[in-house]
Amino acid sequence: MPAWNQRLTKSLHQTRNQPESRYFQLATIDGEGIPENRTVVFRQLDDADYSLVIVSDTRSGKWASLTHQPMASVCWYFSKTREQYRFTVAGSCFTRNDEPTLINKHWSKLSDAGRKQYFWGRPSSVRQNDAPLRVNVDMSQPPEHFCVMKFKIQAVDYLSLQGNPQYREKHWQDKAGNWITQPVIP
């Protein structure tokens, strides 16, 4: 297991009782080259290809941006352990048309409240007169626009504020695919 993965596994364990430690910031680049950033829920670290997994909506801005530019950046701060991870990632997006098993797995884990959000209407479209967002549909099956996004980790910049001095290290893969770790000045 790469050293960064051991650290992240430990951070997740130490903060397992803090729901806010499951949120990270995902930054992408839109079609005009402008950075955009938003909070998302961490769903899984896929050990098979070292990717961070989230669920989202194909009608959201991030889908369009990732289609244009798959490279993205994740910033994740664990306030309890005072650790920051910055991941350079390559995004890929899946719907029920290409990965039905993956989609059903993540849909089945969502609460009713989580599922409802996917039936409110097109994200970012105009909401008329504060119209109520009522949902009276069968939510047992995921809609076509429900998607899973995987962000394959390519490099990691880790910073710990626990000690004095602080500790920072970088992680990347060499040409043979081995993970290299290098402590650097914070």
Nearest Cα to 151, choosing from 86, 93, 67, 68? 93
Nearest-angstrom CA–CA distance, 64 and 147? 13
Binds ligand FMN (CB under 6 A): choice among 2, 44, 46, 61: 61
Residue 123 lies near ligand FMN (rule: CB under 6 A): yes
Residue 111 lies near ligand FMN (rule: CB under 6 A): no
Q: At residue 39, what are phi and psi to the nearest 5 degrees?
A: -85, 140
Choose the stretch contacting ligand FMN; rule: CB under 6 A; options: 31-39, 79-87, 127-135, 172-180: 31-39
Q: How many residues bind ligand FMN (CB under 6 A)?
A: 15
- Ranked by CB distance to ligand FMN, the top (closest) residue is 61
| Nearest-approach distance from CB 110 to ligand FMN, in angstroms | 10
Q: For residue 29, how many C-alpha atoms fall within 13 Å in the half-sphere facing its CB?
A: 11
Contacts 24+ apart (CB under 8 A), 163-167: none
Kindly list the residues in this chain that would bind ligand FMN in the complex (CB under 6 A).
23, 36, 38-41, 54-57, 60-62, 123-124
